[in-house]
A and B are shown apart, each in its own frame.
Chain A
């Protein structure tokens, strides 16, 4: 069973990497991009018995730093 965890920076936390990507896109001539925020996708392959609560604990204890980041869990079929 596969679960995808998306880790993103909280609103209001400055994202220098997203800014650099934004500048690079503009440098390539792409217009109309208002903002870019960079995050992280983590795929976890696990037994069906691993609960949502376990996955949330994995996120808050290690995968995301709750001071600066949020996470979203997407359980794939």
Chain B
């Protein structure tokens, strides 16, 4: 059976949604891990860093969480190849922790954006996206104030050239460079994305386009 952990920070608010999505779709034995824990459960197949407003997003979104004890364990696990999925605040935390390049800045339009958006699947070969078709358009909700992805041109050229852009917005949502909605690390085992796949896993939620991300993980990791 797959084994997963969802990290909880003070101010996380998508942690239970994430755990339900992982359990319901993959059947994984999913445990919640508190931010002060310096050790993760052994034998993890997936670490999920959920959305929310960790530590009140003081200083910068994700800045405090990225320096918490549990993140040192996450960085170490990611280095060993354990898959790590960061959604929304989780994506911000992964950039602040240096597991993904770039930074997520205030939305170009200043306002908090909370709605379903269309995404284009750019990379359908990763462990997270294998159940999508390349160039497929899917609908996933966003809910963020700081989702404006920034990196210098050399970094953008590199991640684009390496096929590390997982998802792009099909429209300008927040001013993100090259409409980036989600990126992979160099090794392909870390995905950060602003949209919330865990909020689109069954029809009652208005759609199920997020479900295949978790289904893909079962196929890749089981």
Q: Which residues of A contact B (CB under 8 A)?
A: 13-14, 16-17, 20, 61-63, 65, 67-68
Contacts and interface: CB of A to CB of B under 8 A. Distances in A.
Contacts of A16: 105-110, 148, 175
Given A16-B175, A68-B150, A63 B106 contact: no
Q: Name B's interface SS.
A: loop
Interface of B: 59-60, 63, 67, 95-96, 101-103, 105-110, 148, 150-151, 175
Contacts, number: 36
Q: Which of A61, A67, A68 has the most CB of B within 10 A?
A: A67
Given A16-B108, A16-B109, A20-B110, A63 B148 contact: no
A27 B108 CA distance: 19
A68 B96 CA distance: 11
A13 B155 CA distance: 14
Nearest to A67: B103
Contact of A67 (B102, B110, B175): B102
B108 A65 contact: no
A65 B107 contact: no
A68 B110 contact: no
Contacts of B151: 67
Contacts of A65: 60, 63, 96, 103
Nearest to B95: A67
A17 B60 CA distance: 14
5 contacts: A14-B148, A16-B109, A62-B59, A62-B63, A65-B63
A16 B174 CA distance: 11
Given A14-B175, A62-B63, 13 more contacts: A13-B150, A14-B148, A14-B150, A16-B105, A16-B107, A16-B110, A16-B148, A63-B59, A65-B63, A67-B101, A67-B150, A67-B151, A68-B150
